[in-house]
Amino acid sequence: MRVAVIGSGNIGTDLMIKVLRGSGKLEMAAMVGIDPASDGLARARRLGVATTADGVGGLLAMADFAAIDLVFDATSARAHVANDAALAPYGKRMIDLTPAAIGPYVVPAVNLDQHLGAGTVRNINMVTCGGQATIPVVAAVSRVVPVPYAEIVASIASKSAGPGTRANIDEFTETTARAIEQVGGAGRGKALIILNPAEPPLIMRDTVLCLVAATSAGVLDAIVESVEEMVRAVAGYVPGYRLKQRVQITPVPPDQPVHTLSGDAAVTHQVSVFLEVEGAAHYLPAYAGNLDIMTSAAIAAAERMAS
């Protein structure tokens, strides 16, 4: 599949590098930006990739635009709305790395295949970095036992949060919370993000808390096995994704206030999962696992489409 990338910032440039380093299923056709002096466009030119600094309009004007099969959008939620509207008349498939969520939420290890079979979904959304890291864990728990409430906390290095990430903070929390419910299977989801200013920068850390009603020790063991299996699946396309420590499952006394979060007095246990995501350092620093997991998930989705 011939692909174009809209957005010549950190995420867009890392996407380009991953396509060029990839399995051969994707061919880099164009890099699109709006800043002629951006490092992403300069790097693309050095690598022999066609470029334009005229945004999506410049992409439409390219001579080989008709031959492009797929467009990655690594801009912002607001910009993606306009980009999608511009490309929709041409039927271009899109992978959206912003929180715009025009198309269905997709987490490759959880629900990618169900959106590929019919061939009718033109635009898929990669949720957020926190969503890609934590929703697989919520889904792993919910496939064993109902999850009335799930909460995630994503802690990322402040240096890895560029203007686009900072502009989308509100969309991050809203989009991730909805996807925790719709993809992860939780009855109610909540998402928090922390921009950690520590020096030297710390790699991405994620905490997942699920309230469950576990009926036996066997169910608790099954939850742990399901989470560990899911972590291995995500690590298949994000090599730096791993458990920071063993899955913890602790009893919840009937009088604890967490029951007001779930609305379910039958909750008996809290499942706590602690993750870290180290970046592959293709273009971004290794501490920027939050950006690497987005680009890695998007590449995994595109290569699956190509297959």
Catalytic (active-site) positions: 129
DSSP 207-220: EEEEEE---SHHHH
Provide the token pair at 37.
Answer: 């002096």
CA 10 to chain CA mean position, Å? 15
Q: How far is CA 256 from the centre of its chain?
A: 33
86 is known to lie in a ligand binding site: no
Distance of CA 33 to the CA centre of its chain: 21
| 164 in a labelled binding site | yes
Residue 167 in marked binding region = yes
* C-alpha span between 269 and 249 (Å, rounded): 6
119 annotated among ligand-binding-site residues: no
Q: Is 130 annotated as a binding residue?
A: no
Q: Residue 243: count other Cβ atoms within 10 Å of its Cβ.
A: 16
- 74 assigned ligand-binding residue: no
> CA–CA separation, 17 vs 123, rounded Å?
22
Residues 6+ apart with CB under 8 A from 127: 99, 101, 105, 106, 107, 135, 175, 176, 179, 183
Is 23 annotated to bind a ligand? Reply is: no
Rounded to the nearest 5 percent, the helix, strand and coil shares of the chain are 40, 25, 35
Query: 168 a known binding residue?
Result: yes
Consult the annotation and say whether 163 binds a ligand: yes
Q: 186 vs 103, 111, 142, 181, CA distance in Å? A: 20, 15, 7, 5
Residue 33 among known ligand-binding residues: no
290 is in an annotated binding site: yes
For residue 7, say whether it is annotated as part of any ligand binding site: no
Contact 271, 263 (CB under 8 A): no
Is 83 known as a binding-site position? no
Residue type, 147: V
Paired tokens of 146: 């109902």
Q: Which long-range contacts (CB under 8 A, 24 or more apart) does 122-125 make?
A: 122/88, 122/91, 122/92, 122/93, 122/94, 123/84, 123/93, 123/94, 123/96, 124/94, 124/95, 124/96, 124/301, 125/96, 125/98, 125/99, 125/100, 125/101, 125/175
Asked if residue 165 belongs to a known ligand binding site, the reply is: yes
Tell me the binding residues for NAD(+).
8-11, 160-168, 290
Tell me the binding residues.
8-11, 160-168, 290
